[in-house]
Amino acid sequence: MSEGSPVAIIAAHGDLATGLVSAVQQITGRGELFLPMTNSGMGAAEIERALLELVDSRNLRVIFTDLPAGSCTIAARRVLAARPHVVLVTGTSLPLLLDFMSHEELEPAQAATHAVDRAVRSLTAVGGVARGH
Amino acid sequence: MAIDLYRIDDRLIHGQVVVGWGQPLNLGFIALVDDEVAGSEWEQELYRMGVPPDMDVYFATPDEASRLLDQWNEDQRPGILLTGDIDTMRRLIALCPSIKTVNLGGIHHRAGRTLKLRYVYLTPQEEEALRALERSGVVVTAQDVPSARAVPLDDVLRGEAER
């Protein structure tokens, strides 16, 4: 992944994308790999236009979104119809982004698939266990 | 049960609808009324994607919806009816005078529209269309999520609700 250049967009509700980029920056110092975008205050057409403009102007090939049924995902699906080389990943989480950026040797689509697998496996529910004496 | 909410939202099916309203209402179905979506399998698949498998999505034009409305209202599950713009809702209500409430959920900025609420922008023609709906006996309020206050149309049009 190119030094200092964004490789993917994170489009999400509220300030989530900015927060995820901030977390990536804190952990790896490479938050610049992701361009954050919020859908706040934007209609469907406006979100699609903004995504398309970022994809085209920055030559980006991956869009990460949050909710599978959210407006960012719907808009991204429309972008994919116009730009079939772009890959969409929904349900974005921090483990997913960290795995994606750690596989720069892979094509973006392969790195995205790998990251999804890793992110799914990172979901755990841990019950409380009384501390022993 | 019946259709609990008649909502105008230019994002149609999205997070606020599926999760924000869907969970507290325990939604069983969404009726999406839109000419373009009703005529396109691709658009329909787009909106079906991500909707929980136990939630049905029905697609219809306003004409088709007017014939299906009684059936939807007899459904035992709670439902939401969505249109993407004021004109589609106006056309549906003209065919279905039993609709007495309309929720403005999201009408976002575009050329010619002015800010009324954070999530409601209107042209003068759209303002007049909403006033005409109220004159015909329909109660119009703006409310993006269930926890927000339902803002009466007069307050929306004055643009003072959030000042």
Contact check, Cβ <8 Å, B15/A71: yes
Range in A12-16, B34-38, B151-155, B157-161 with the lowest mean pLDDT: B157-161
Question: Shortest Cα distance from B79 to chain A (angstroms)?
Answer: 17
The whole-number pLDDT of residue B161 equals 62
| Rounded Cα distance, A55 and B87, in Å | 33
Average pLDDT over residues A75-91: 96
> Which is nearest to A73 in space by CA: A60, A92, A98?
A92
- Put simply, whether the predicted model's pTM sits higher than 0.90 gets the answer no
Question: Shortest Cα distance from A77 to chain B (angstroms)?
Answer: 7
Query: Which of A38, A48, A67, A92 should we substitute to test contact with B (largest number of B Cβ atoms within 10 Å)?
Result: A67
Task: Please determine, for residue B146, whether its predicted confidence score (pLDDT) is greater than 70.
Answer: yes
Tokens of A65: 């979104």
Residue pLDDT, tens place only, B80-136: 999 999 999 999 999 999 999 999 999 999 999 999 999 999 999 999 999 999 999
What was the ipTM of the complex prediction? 0.82
Q: Choose among A46, A71, A77: nearest Cβ to B14.
A: A71
Contact check, Cβ <8 Å, A46/B108: yes
What ranges do the domains of chain B cover?
A: 1-30+37-78+89-96, 109-116+131-163
What confidence category does residue A5 fall into, taking pLDDT thresholds of 50, 70 and 90?
confident
Average pLDDT over residues A2-28: 92
- HSE-up (13 A, CA, CB side) for residue A96: 23
Buried b / exposed e across B100-131, counting CB within 10 Å, b at 16+? Answer: eebbbbbbbeeeebeebbebbbbeeebbebbe
Any idea which residue has 């119009």 for tokens? B140
CATH of domain B1-30+37-78+89-96: 3.40.35.10
Answer yes or no: CATH 3.40.50.510 is held by domain A8-121. Answer: yes
Question: Which segments within chain A are labelled E, that is strand?
Answer: 8-12, 34-38, 62-65, 87-89
The whole-number pLDDT of residue A3 equals 61
